[in-house]
A and B are shown apart, each in its own frame.
Chain A
């Protein structure tokens, strides 16, 4: 069965970077795009970007341009999301989500990233 398993919770200081992983199983990683979505405490869902695991190309929401990098390792069926220059407002649960067409049908369990001095 399809599973997306994300890395564990992180605590980072302002200005640092965080790299969250999302390991896919039960299907071929390169067959579908992967998105990253986050939810800050008490806030709604926010789309961050998309990566095509086949060629590695990525597209990011304007808000995160210059601070986010999405990559993949096809040998381990894992996609990564790295966010730099962290600030307190980046405290959120980060999700990876698979997109076979125009909806996100499978989601990771979420990774809590806490930014605090």
Chain B
């Protein structure tokens, strides 16, 4: 199972929006509505930001939103803040009790 494809980096100024893509195949992203997104600050444990494509867990700001079209899922961070600077990973179910992560995107707040 190959990793899902994410852009290596994305950036935006405070207050702007940034969208991160996560491209897979019909066997993973396109085949299931089980895509989740994680924020990872170096040295800390990853944090769940979005589950099941677009569900935001309690405590996650509504500036974070998720969507999916075909084999590509997206995470949008609106109203960028300095603390949003981190690595972001998508993950998808691939069937038969298997999962896969994306390659990761480093978000920089300019």
Chain A residues in the interface with B (C-beta under 8 A): 35, 37, 44-47, 50, 59, 61-62, 95, 97, 101-105, 107-110
Contacts of B48 in A (CB 8 A): 103-105
Question: Secondary structure of the B side of the interface?
Answer: strand
Looking at chain B, what size class is its interface with the partner chain? 20 to 34
Known: A44-B102, A101-B51, A108-B45. 20 other contacts (CB 8 A): A44-B3, A45-B46, A47-B91, A47-B98, A50-B97, A50-B99, A59-B96, A59-B97, A61-B1, A102-B52, A102-B93, A103-B36, A103-B52, A103-B55, A104-B38, A104-B48, A105-B48, A105-B51, A107-B45, A107-B46
Bound-state Cα–Cα, A45 to B38, Å: 10
Say whether B11 faces chain A, with CB atoms less than 8 Å apart: no
A-B contact count (CB 8 A): 65
Identity of the chain B residue whose Cβ is nearest the Cβ of A47 in the assembled complex = B99
Chain B residues in the interface with A (C-beta under 8 A): 1, 3, 34, 36, 38, 40, 45-48, 50-52, 55, 57, 87, 89, 91, 93, 96-104
Contacts of A61 in B (CB 8 A): 1, 98
Q: Are B38 and A101 in contact (CB under 8 A)?
A: no
